[in-house]
Structure 1
Amino acid sequence: MTKERLLIIEDETSVAKQLKWSLSQAYDISIAADAKKARQLLTSGAYPVATLDLGLPPSPDTPHEGLKLLEDLGTFAPHTKVIVITGNSEQETAVKAVASGAVDFCAKPIDLKVLEIILSRTFRLYTLEEANRRLRTQIDQGGSLCGIIGVSPVMHKVFSLIRKVSETDYPVLATGESGTGKEMVAHAIHTLSARCHKPFVIINCGAIPENLLESELFGHEKGAFTGAVARKTGKFEQADSGTVFLDEIGDLPLAMQVKILRFLQEGTVERVGGKGVLKLDVRIIAATNINLKKAISRGDFREDLYFRMNVVPVHLPLLKERPEDIMVLAQHFLRTETQSLKAGRVLFSPGAIAALSVHDWPGNVRELHNRIRRSLSIFTGQTITPDNLGLGACQPDQTAETFSTLQEARNQAEQDCIRKALLLTGNNISQAAKLLKTSRPTLHDLLKKHNIKS
């Protein structure tokens, strides 16, 4: 069984040798006598855990070098767990070390049994965190993140951004056309965040009548207006400690935009008819399918609110901009819908696959999902055809943008033919080459030329 690797950072040779002799049966131990050597070893990423004596050369009588190494650790070994070794009279320094990122400390003279317990606990903590990191990476690489499906490079970038922003509480503005998945992005950010067990409240800004909007968002007191027979808790208050998703924020009236801006600035709201302010802890994620910069120029949207909301922009691409995902999504929707309907095994015909791959998808992922549902409601047998999908024969979209040059037309035609051949053959290069009546090397050259992933 491979031993776990432990780095001992200790300038006193006798202490370092004693620790190595005592712990070598359980761990694969390396020793660094100064900060420079420690940096070199830690940068390799090979050490899950390190012990650190803060008194290192050239100032062994002060904790300066050790604390500086600890503070810099995040830049070259962010996942390594550090246990500080400190004297009984140096409790203040130990507390400072923990505040700088150390996971624990062990007092001198070292009690080996205590150190072994601390080491065991620290290695277990590292293992748990590493398993979580691997799981999150596998979720991403597997083409799915919190129900969002995508194997294309552009979606991998979106997944990476979602994971990063979920670790903060900054406002997020999700943009993209209708049907691209903005609400699912908001759900994913909330689910991966520390607020995941708290409320996630959706507010459709365009669906609530303007005269009821303030009451719906912030609540009202009894008697605040005709019909207010009791106090009402607003959606922001319902989401306290959680997340509010403002869908179609571009539809908010200007008067309400001022109140949202105030909340972003101060974290407070007022109920309609109320005399005091409510301090709330709510993360805001907003979404829109309109161009807010143009709305600002028309005077329909406040520029200061835009800059407050657009701290972390997440843009969702059109489905036609991520062609690699079309059949992945189609197969996913077909599988989930047939399971729900208990319809048994259902397949796409070759013509349906081709039709799906060349359709322009103006309604994006939502349109694809709805076409799959439509097909399952009218098809017969076990195979879905282009007609079942409402796509007719497999033909390029006649409304597609015309090409400005013949070379662009040739390139686009090559890409379309190659993608269809790969889809029809299940990404089998040899069969796709035969279908295209070309050689494998030529097809490989074309894949590289057009940056098509096989």
Structure 2
Amino acid sequence: MHKIFICDDEPEILHYLDKLLRASGYAVETFTSGAALLERLKKPVVADIILQDVRMPDMDGLQVLKQTRKRHPEMPVVIMTAHGTIDDAVHAIKLGAYDYITKPFPKEKLLGMLERILDYRRLATENRQLREELHRSSVSSDAIIFRSDAFREVYDLTLQVAESDANILVMGESGTGKELIAGALHHNSPRRDKPFISLNCAALSDTLLESQLFGHVRGAFTGAVINQKGLLEEADGGTLFLDEIGDVSPAVQAKLLRVTQEKDFIVLGSTRTRKVDVRFVAATNKDLMAEVQAGRFREDLYYRLNVISISLPPLRERRDDIEPLAMHFLDICTRRMKKDVRGIDQDALQTLTQYDWPGNVRELENVIERSVILARGTTITASLLPLGGRRDLPAAAASAGTLAALDEVERQHIENVLRETSFHKSRTAEILGISRKTLDRKIAEFGLGENRT
């Protein structure tokens, strides 16, 4: 039931509107003064619309409107006015009133206006929820899937600290989902409408890492032929995720320290200081305190980045999550590959659950993808899982109970993928993670034939 607040100093108007709106299915609260209305608005608001007179003896109605808009900017306020005060009503619209209606007003006109306002609010709410859902889904194509209490604690902490502006250090083994947590921190923060930018610090040399972070001007170093904006500027107002922060050199650490302290930096090759507003989320699979004690990581930067720390448990410590994660990856892979693989049998699930997963969630995803590629029926069976003593060994070689030569393992794996893709070479190369040219060379080398395009 929608609720309407009515504020008017005329008892007859209040009685008429209260009776009319209750008969029309609304809940109603009435107020005889602006002060009473403002006092009520200090409490949790349950009104959907406010009907307010523009002229009241205790307070100017426009001042009441200003206070209402200040406290509850999304609350629709309809101004009630007499014919002689239309100018006040126009002024109220400029101050943020949703609309106005003149006394005496036909009940059909009032009820129609209320319905339109409620429809507008419903659409606005749905749009906001849709935007929030898009923000959540844009963290990754993979949702944060869990069932275990161990990861529930991590996720609850993530949501709790997301609203703050503190820098976060995310720690955990490789493949535990540190970037997913970083994305969740951003997309549940006040910075959600600004950029979320990720950088793998271990993948770049010092010069390239500095260039990527801070940008450079033309001629700053060999090969710098144009000006380039750095990721710090790209992430201004948003979040910068620095993965593998433990691999950053001391020289780059010193420059990062300045940014975290002073919120400014100097572009490579320039002398001009640039201000930036960035929240840092850093991640590492190293023991950074041990790195600090060994002199490989700056202690002051460590404490700047580690305002709040989030430690991700390895998959072997959250075995309750293995089944829902496996089913999630199965759904993703079957959709992408357009294969009719509908489930994982109990023996396979038991095998997955008992395995220790040194590669964590990333390894689980790769195992499910491989199993979908090699599956010939609608169910993934234990024989398809490259775990334990059969890790990465094609099923044919494993079932023979012998150790195959590396070339034979490679030949069988390429042949299996070719058959699963109906010898579609481009798709096969994509699945194998090699170029089409390399695949052609392997096909010729292993005598697999040129059966398809």
Is 1:209 matched up with 2:202?
A: no
> Structure 2 residue aligned with 1:323, among 311, 319, 337?
319
Larger displacement relative to structure 2 (158-167 or 126-135): 126-135
Contact 2:216/2:229, CA 8 A, preserved across alignment? yes
Is 1:55 matched up with 2:35?
A: yes
Distance 1:96 1:276, change over 3 A: farther
Contact 1:5/1:27, CA 8 A, preserved across alignment? no
Contact 2:49/2:78, CA 8 A, preserved across alignment? no
Counterpart of 1:285, as a letter, is V
Is 1:351 matched up with 2:318?
A: no
Contact 1:174/1:313, CA 8 A, preserved across alignment? yes
Distance 1:273 1:179, change over 3 A: same
Is 1:263 matched up with 2:243?
A: no
- The aligned residue for residue 385 of structure 2 is 389
Is 1:336 matched up with 2:303?
A: no
Contact 1:224/1:273, CA 8 A, preserved across alignment? yes
Displacement, 1:224?
Answer: 2.4
2:242 is paired with a residue of what secondary structure?
Answer: strand
Structure 1, unpaired ranges of 5+: 35-52, 57-65, 395-454
Larger displacement relative to structure 2 (293-302 or 346-355): 293-302
Larger displacement relative to structure 2 (264-273 or 216-225): 264-273
TM-score, length basis structure 2: 0.65
- The aligned residue for residue 247 of structure 2 is 251
- The aligned residue for residue 273 of structure 2 is 277
Instruction: State the alpha-carbon separation in 2 of the partners of residues 189 and 120 from structure 1.
Output: 37
Is 1:97 matched up with 2:97?
A: no
Counterpart of 1:55, as a letter, is A
2:339 is paired with a residue of what secondary structure?
Answer: coil
1:224-247 deviation digits (Å, cap 9, x = unpaired): 234433322212223344432211
Displacement, 1:202?
Answer: 1.7
- The aligned residue for residue 29 of structure 2 is 31
Distance 1:383 1:189, change over 3 A: same
Instruction: State the alpha-carbon separation in 1 of the partners of residues 379 and 142 from structure 2.
Output: 29
Q: For 1:271-310, what aligned pairs fall within 5 Å after superposition?
A: 271-310=267-306
Displacement, 1:10?
Answer: 7.4
Is 1:200 matched up with 2:167?
A: no
Displacement, 1:196?
Answer: 5.4
How many positions carry a matched residue from both structures? Answer: 357
Q: For 1:4-83, what aligned pairs fall within 5 Å after superposition?
A: 4-8=2-6, 14-31=12-29, 54-56=34-36, 66-67=37-38, 69-70=40-41, 72-73=42-43, 76=44, 83=50
1:427-447 deviation digits (Å, cap 9, x = unpaired): xxxxxxxxxxxxxxxxxxxxx
Instruction: State the alpha-carbon separation in 1 of the partners of residues 384 and 142 from structure 2.
Output: 30
Contact 1:81/1:122, CA 8 A, preserved across alignment? yes
Structure 2, unpaired ranges of 5+: 82-100, 391-453
Instruction: State the alpha-carbon separation in 1 of the partners of residues 157 and 9 from structure 2.
Output: 42
Contact 1:6/1:29, CA 8 A, preserved across alignment? yes
Displacement, 1:20?
Answer: 0.9
Contact 2:162/2:185, CA 8 A, preserved across alignment? yes
Contact 2:6/2:50, CA 8 A, preserved across alignment? no
Identity of aligned residues (%): 37
Counterpart of 1:247, as a letter, is D
Instruction: State the alpha-carbon separation in 2 of the partners of residues 303 and 10 from structure 1.
Output: 64
2:366 is paired with a residue of what secondary structure?
Answer: helix
Displacement, 1:358?
Answer: 1.5
1:382-434 deviation digits (Å, cap 9, x = unpaired): 5434342123599xxxxxxxxxxxxxxxxxxxxxxxxxxxxxxxxxxxxxxxx
Contact 1:146/1:188, CA 8 A, preserved across alignment? no
> Structure 1 residue aligned with 2:178, among 182, 197, 200?
182
Counterpart of 1:6, as a letter, is I
Instruction: State the alpha-carbon separation in 1 of the partners of residues 181 and 323 from structure 2.
Output: 21
TM-score, length basis structure 1: 0.65
- The aligned residue for residue 167 of structure 2 is 171
1:55 is paired with a residue of what secondary structure?
Answer: helix
Displacement, 1:315?
Answer: 3.5
- The aligned residue for residue 85 of structure 1 is 52
Q: For 1:118-197, what aligned pairs fall within 5 Å after superposition?
A: 120-121=116-117, 124-125=120-121, 128-129=124-125, 147-162=143-158, 169-191=165-187
Q: For 1:429-448, what aligned pairs fall within 5 Å after superposition?
A: none
Instruction: State the alpha-carbon separation in 2 of the partners of residues 250 and 68 from structure 1.
Output: 54
Instruction: State the alpha-carbon separation in 1 of the partners of residues 162 and 256 from structure 2.
Output: 21
Distance 1:162 1:134, change over 3 A: farther
Instruction: State the alpha-carbon separation in 1 of the partners of residues 198 and 176 from structure 2.
Output: 17
Instruction: State the alpha-carbon separation in 2 of the partners of residues 83 and 262 from structure 1.
Output: 50
- The aligned residue for residue 437 of structure 1 is none
1:360 is paired with a residue of what secondary structure?
Answer: coil
Instruction: State the alpha-carbon separation in 1 of the partners of residues 15 and 320 from structure 2.
Output: 57
1:341-381 deviation digits (Å, cap 9, x = unpaired): 33323543332121112222222111111222333444555
> Structure 2 residue aligned with 1:220, among 211, 216, 222?
216
Distance 1:249 1:348, change over 3 A: same
Distance 1:97 1:380, change over 3 A: closer
1:206 is paired with a residue of what secondary structure?
Answer: helix
Distance 1:108 1:132, change over 3 A: closer
